[in-house]
Structure 1
Amino acid sequence: MRRITCLVISLGLSASAIADTLYTNMKGYTLTSPAGENAVLQQFSTMLVENGKVQAIGGETLAQRFADTDSTVDMNGKTVLPGLTDAHGHIQSLGNSLLQVDLRDTESVSDAVQKVRSYAKEQQEIEWITGRGWNQEQWKNKVFPSAANLDEVVSDRPVWLMRVDAHAGWANSEALRRAGIDKNTVSPEGGEIIRDEQGNPTGVLVDNAMQLVEDIIPEPSLQQQRAAYELAFQHLVKLGITSVHDAGINSDEISIYKGLHNQGRMPLRVYGMIAATEPKLAQLLAEGPYETRDQKLAIRSVKIYADGALGSRGAALIEPYSDDHDNHGLMVTSEKKIQELYKLIIPHGFQINTHAIGDRANRVVLDNMAEVYDELGGRNLRNRIEHAQIVHPDDLKRFTELNLIASMQPTHATSDKNMAEDRLGSERMAGAYAWQTLLDEGTVIAAGSDFPVELANPFYGLHAAVTRQDRDNMPSGGWYAEEKMSLEQALRSFTIDAAYSAWQEQSLGSLEPGKWADFIVLEQDPFAVDASQIWQTQVEQTYVAGERVY
């Protein structure tokens, strides 16, 4: 049952206190501290904001007490929620994807090829044709595309198109030629060059093999990179996202963030995870955690890739794929290297966030985390497993035993439902996308989207979490419906629990006194509509630190 209380919470203000803005006549909801299963959902109709922070929330009594405030805003009965956090996204990739050919909704390889043709015709001056979003599982034949498909429409310029999950790429022959990939090229460790029956590369590269092409694509200029970030920022605040955990940034991107922040060009908050592949990782760790005074930018974690993705059969599995009996997936980072990274990072007090999708990868992370805790400590660093999609049922309880946060993306389940059981078989589904099981064990779930792998709209995520259905509300009753979240749990995972997963719950994630006034105004009340309609929720206004940014 949902617990909602309605009361006045304040910082002990007197009637003579000077306030910036009093917001009245709203349907406000917030989870209140502490984070996790003991958080309580509270409802309020009035909120007092001063100097960018919440001073009090309450009802009519609070409104009357500060009725003479210079700035009073009547919210006209609109619904107000804390600003939503996406606990796993890729901001520069999102900005880039908004500038590239978009293949997300293609229904066949020919459909994708025609989009590439149109884009290439419009962008005659671009040396490399790049794009993202194809997913062969949405195509009728469900097979990987080939370079020959692309050569039909673009043969004089290189083409490189990332799969929707960013764990496979599709190249035309010119891109393969420039990368020096031919029949004799050996697949790198943790990657695979897909080949035809004669051993020739087909044009699809999986996981670490993608670097063979990506390393030769010209770097965008600093100006182009900044433009991509700002385009992504604008996109995100329109969706009600006020904070993002950027999952894997390098030193150059850290510098860009610092520059944008110094110029006042960051309308939202970013919690950056340093990419474990960053050559300057040891130096950045030695410099210690970084956080700006206004908490717009914080860097105190490291992102490690353990394996690949399920859709491209790169997720590392204990037993072979049910639809590819000779394939166990890929460990993108070796177990030895993972152990070395853990031992490097923990002494510096940085949080470790490890991408693990398959049950083997999750077990490797759990085993190595337990081992390094015994040797070095680090249990209280709020370490996370990013995705935690397929976990052996015996390992689910180990998340709480090892004090690990599950950073999960609800729309992954509804996007994967048409292929996950093919990949895994029915028995392994017992530990797949197991949100409620993890919550019942006491595990904190930090929710996100993994944009641009999935669409960034957090209400799509809330809908998927509550219904286990896609936006056509299929399948009826929900996919493995026993793992649904309640709306309260789902909202918690996008707000205070996401803040907790970044060590920020004391200042973000809820509309409690003393915290930043990050909030959104909605055109409908998610708690008052049928769950099937949650994804349709529109954001009318977004505020960060009391300032309207959308």
Structure 2
Amino acid sequence: MKSSRSAACIVVLVLTVAVSQTLLAQSEPADLVLVGGDVVTLAADPGQAEAVAVRDGRIVAVGEPAEIEALTGPETEVIDLDGRMLLPGFIEGHGHFLGLGEALMTLDLQDTRSFAEVVSRVEQAVADAEPGEWITGRGWHQENWNETGEDVVDGVPTHHELSAVSPDNPVLLTHASGHAALANEMALGLAGIAERTPNPEGGEIVRDGEGQPTGFLRQAAQQPVRERMRIWYQGLGQIARQQRFQRQVDLAAEQALSHGVTSFHDMGQRFDDIDRLLAMDEEGALPLRLYVAVIGETNTDLDRRLPDYLRPPADGRMLAVRSVKRHLDGALGTHGAWLLRPYADRPDHSGLPQMSLADLRETAAIAYQHGFQLNTHAIGDRANREALSVYESIQRLAGDEALRWRIEHAQTLHPDDVPRFAELDVIASMQGIHATSDGPWVPQRLGEERAEREAYVWRSLLDSGATICNGTDVPVEPISPIASLHASITREMANGERFFPEQSMERVEALKSYTIHCAFAAFEEERLGTIEVGKLADLVVLDRNLLEVSEDELAEARVDLTLVGGEVRYRRENSE
């Protein structure tokens, strides 16, 4: 009896303390109040309010202006939303953080409309470079060019015009997909790529009619050139390398925040760069949240070193590490995606697998053993099927444990494999902008019937119960959630046509794919992804309500404010 009375007293005491703390929290002034707008919480469907209060980096109240006014003190910062839209901060579900910074430091070739433009930009860069200095660029796509010149193999110009303007500088220009590159004569020579050089496993050295390398390197064939570039980079010295790394981080963060991105799923980094990011996090120098996957390490090194790098999302950290990234195939645009049937425009070719299934199974076992999520790049329908089967074997071992493993891109899915995502609790990490960017040439690669049935089937996945985490794959595409949301909702291509619009998302579905679903994909749904009391105040203010404006106006929406942990990290000029 005495024991029972003691237990009852303890319960009453705990409840009394909890109620007292709640009342205290409600009475203390907030650090920040945002009031007078369309607050779309996404906690419900979609969930509406007009004001939010923030204290110590967390949301402490969501409701009507009169409720929030009680938390406004003399030191409280008040932001008048003036009818604008307030959303949870956008989560970039698949991008390359340092790659974005690097892209901003090299030649941007995304807007080129001819090979002559590419050559001209390289020529200008050579004029400002020292002999021997590497010239790099990214973003070109042969399908976007109106003119390629006369010396063309497999739809891509040979290196000769490029080499003529860069005789003393090695040049490497990465394809928009990231899965191929064009090298000049000097870069090929440094890498030892010549007439008799064999194709590496998982790669192709494209050759002309006489067997000479054209400079176009598919998939793994890029690696010897990139290794020579890495050696040159190492020769710059530790101070120069650290300064370059810091510049990459600063530029990438600035771009991300200006587009309303408060969290970034980075796919991924090697251990040495993760070490640099960890050091920055310890110094409080990361301005947005990073969820980083380990990439490029051998299975042996993963098994040995992963336990030292397990870093789940937690308060006081901006950097989380708890996933491993693997590439099972390449890109559709470069004929690298691994297909069940050959390409429509290359009947003798079904893609370029980038690793053996045995290696992927070993990686999966290592990731599971050490408590890491596995994120597998799979674009072709064959690659997706094989990845799902590997995941299924591990899920059987895990039983009821929710692994939340991911397939990155999932661009081409056989209808039989669509329901497997929901059945296996596999997250489809897809990029809305890819469908409208790739749409004009996808039927050329797959054929009309297969493109309609299998390509970028968001509606089919959602209807089957799967979770989609959206993104841009930056720097493959610009880091614009607005552009990717517009693509997800409309499937409208640059030519005004719509790419199989029956696979579109509804607006709330699209917003959730950029917020709470990506938070779920990173095990952060308790902290991020919706506007609710107790969650981190990662927020974005837009100049219009994406749920109400026309589709054309949606595409023109602008980010006015980006807040991370209740602090304004980006403010658009003349936005208030």
Summarize deviations over 1:371-427 as a string: whole Å, max 9, x none. 233345586110000000001111101111111000000010011011111000122
The amino acid across from 1:283 in the alignment is: R
Summarize deviations over 1:346-392 as a string: whole Å, max 9, x none. 11111110000000100110111112333455861100000000011
Contact 1:307-1:356 at 8 Å conserved across structures? yes
Do the aligned partners of residues 190 and 13 (structure 1) sit closer, same or farther apart at CA in structure 2, a change above 3 Å counting? farther
Q: Structure 1: any 5+ residue segments left out of the alignment?
A: 1-10, 33-38
- The alignment status of 1:272 with 2:292, answered yes or no, reads yes
Q: In the alignment, which residue of structure 2 is the partner of 1:16?
A: 27
- The alignment status of 1:43 with 2:57, answered yes or no, reads no
Contact 2:537-2:565 at 8 Å conserved across structures? yes
SS at match of 2:459: helix
Summarize deviations over 1:220-251 as a string: whole Å, max 9, x none. 61221121111111111011100000002101
Q: Mean Cα displacement is larger for which, 39-48 or 384-393?
A: 39-48
Q: In the alignment, which residue of structure 2 is the partner of 1:397?
A: 419
Q: In the alignment, which residue of structure 2 is the partner of 1:245?
A: 265
Q: In the alignment, which residue of structure 1 is the partner of 2:112?
A: 106
Q: In the alignment, which residue of structure 1 is the partner of 2:151?
A: none
Task: Give, in whole Å, the separation in 2 of the partners of 1:69 and 1:499.
Answer: 34
Task: Give, in whole Å, the separation in 1 of the partners of 2:567 and 2:303.
Answer: 37
Task: Point out the structure with max Rg over C-alpha.
Answer: 2
Q: In the alignment, which residue of structure 2 is the partner of 1:5?
A: none
Q: CA deviation at 1:536?
A: 1.6
Alignment of 1:183-202 (within 5 A): 183-202=195-214
Q: In the alignment, which residue of structure 2 is the partner of 1:419?
A: 441
Alignment of 1:296-445 (within 5 A): 296-375=318-397, 380-429=402-451, 430-445=453-468
Q: Mean Cα displacement is larger for which, 338-347 or 449-458?
A: 338-347
The amino acid across from 2:244 in the alignment is: Q
Contact 1:349-1:378 at 8 Å conserved across structures? no
Contact 1:302-1:352 at 8 Å conserved across structures? yes
Q: In the alignment, which residue of structure 2 is the partner of 1:7?
A: none
Q: Mean Cα displacement is larger for which, 403-412 or 260-269?
A: 260-269
SS at match of 2:162: helix
SS at match of 2:375: strand
Contact 1:165-1:309 at 8 Å conserved across structures? yes
Q: CA deviation at 1:194?
A: 0.7
Contact 2:113-2:147 at 8 Å conserved across structures? no
1:62 maps to which of 64, 67, 74: 67
Do the aligned partners of residues 80 and 488 (structure 1) sit closer, same or farther apart at CA in structure 2, a change above 3 Å counting? same
Q: CA deviation at 1:214?
A: 0.2
- The alignment status of 1:219 with 2:247, answered yes or no, reads no
Task: Give, in whole Å, the separation in 1 of the partners of 2:319 and 2:275.
Answer: 11
The amino acid across from 2:310 in the alignment is: P
Task: Give, in whole Å, the separation in 1 of the partners of 2:514 and 2:23.
Answer: 30
Task: Give, in whole Å, the separation in 1 of the partners of 2:495 and 2:555.
Answer: 10
Task: Give, in whole Å, the separation in 1 of the partners of 2:214 and 2:184.
Answer: 9
SS at match of 2:374: strand
Q: CA deviation at 1:67?
A: 4.7
The amino acid across from 2:283 in the alignment is: Q
Q: In the alignment, which residue of structure 2 is the partner of 1:30?
A: 41
- The alignment status of 1:162 with 2:174, answered yes or no, reads yes
Task: Give, in whole Å, the separation in 2 of the partners of 1:117 and 1:141.
Answer: 18
Task: Give, in whole Å, the separation in 2 of the partners of 1:373 and 1:56.
Answer: 39
Do the aligned partners of residues 125 and 237 (structure 1) sit closer, same or farther apart at CA in structure 2, a change above 3 Å counting? farther
Q: In the alignment, which residue of structure 1 is the partner of 2:478?
A: 455
- The alignment status of 1:503 with 2:509, answered yes or no, reads no
Q: In the alignment, which residue of structure 2 is the partner of 1:97?
A: 103
Q: CA deviation at 1:281?
A: 1.9
The amino acid across from 2:191 in the alignment is: A
Do the aligned partners of residues 235 and 125 (structure 1) sit closer, same or farther apart at CA in structure 2, a change above 3 Å counting? farther
The amino acid across from 1:66 in the alignment is: L
Q: Mean Cα displacement is larger for which, 252-261 or 482-491?
A: 252-261
Contact 2:51-2:65 at 8 Å conserved across structures? yes
SS at match of 1:54: strand
Relative to total residues, which structure has the larger helix share, 1 or 2? Answer: 2
- The alignment status of 1:77 with 2:88, answered yes or no, reads no
Task: Give, in whole Å, the separation in 1 of the partners of 2:274 and 2:280.
Answer: 10
Q: Mean Cα displacement is larger for which, 119-128 or 164-173?
A: 119-128
Q: In the alignment, which residue of structure 1 is the partner of 2:128?
A: 122
The amino acid across from 2:95 in the alignment is: G
Q: In the alignment, which residue of structure 2 is the partner of 1:465?
A: 488
The amino acid across from 1:58 in the alignment is: G
Do the aligned partners of residues 87 and 70 (structure 1) sit closer, same or farther apart at CA in structure 2, a change above 3 Å counting? same
Task: Give, in whole Å, the separation in 2 of the partners of 1:184 and 1:377.
Answer: 51
Task: Give, in whole Å, the separation in 1 of the partners of 2:397 and 2:404.
Answer: 17
Kindly report structure 1 stretches of 4+ aligned residues shifted beyond 4 Å: 11-15, 375-379
Q: CA deviation at 1:12?
A: 4.7
Contact 1:507-1:515 at 8 Å conserved across structures? yes
Summarize deviations over 1:270-298 as a string: whole Å, max 9, x none. 00011153573223322362145324110
Q: Structure 2: any 5+ residue segments left out of the alignment?
A: 1-20, 149-154, 235-240, 571-576
The amino acid across from 2:305 in the alignment is: L
Do the aligned partners of residues 50 and 375 (structure 1) sit closer, same or farther apart at CA in structure 2, a change above 3 Å counting? closer
Task: Give, in whole Å, the separation in 2 of the partners of 1:275 and 1:547.
Answer: 31
Task: Give, in whole Å, the separation in 2 of the partners of 1:26 and 1:373.
Answer: 44
SS at match of 1:469: coil
Task: Give, in whole Å, the separation in 2 of the partners of 1:434 and 1:386.
Answer: 14
Task: Give, in whole Å, the separation in 1 of the partners of 2:468 and 2:534.
Answer: 24
Scaled by the length of structure 2, the TM-score of the pair is 0.89
Contact 1:379-1:403 at 8 Å conserved across structures? no
Contact 1:163-1:169 at 8 Å conserved across structures? yes
Task: Give, in whole Å, the separation in 1 of the partners of 2:423 and 2:521.
Answer: 17
Task: Give, in whole Å, the separation in 2 of the partners of 1:237 and 1:284.
Answer: 32
Q: In the alignment, which residue of structure 2 is the partner of 1:172?
A: 184
Q: Mean Cα displacement is larger for which, 290-299 or 197-206?
A: 290-299
Task: Give, in whole Å, the separation in 2 of the partners of 1:12 and 1:164.
Answer: 52
- The alignment status of 1:229 with 2:249, answered yes or no, reads yes
The amino acid across from 1:71 in the alignment is: T
Alignment of 1:525-536 (within 5 A): 525-536=545-556
- Cα RMSD (Å): 1.8
SS at match of 2:137: strand
Q: Percent identity over the alignment?
A: 39
Q: Mean Cα displacement is larger for which, 98-107 or 518-527?
A: 518-527
Contact 2:62-2:68 at 8 Å conserved across structures? no
Task: Give, in whole Å, the separation in 2 of the partners of 1:67 and 1:216.
Answer: 59
Q: In the alignment, which residue of structure 1 is the partner of 2:538?
A: 518
Q: CA deviation at 1:69?
A: 5.9
Q: CA deviation at 1:341?
A: 0.9
Do the aligned partners of residues 126 and 42 (structure 1) sit closer, same or farther apart at CA in structure 2, a change above 3 Å counting? farther
The amino acid across from 1:330 in the alignment is: L
Q: In the alignment, which residue of structure 2 is the partner of 1:254?
A: 274
Contact 1:23-1:46 at 8 Å conserved across structures? yes
Task: Give, in whole Å, the separation in 2 of the partners of 1:63 and 1:311.
Answer: 52
Q: CA deviation at 1:126?
A: 6.7
Contact 1:391-1:431 at 8 Å conserved across structures? yes
SS at match of 2:46: strand
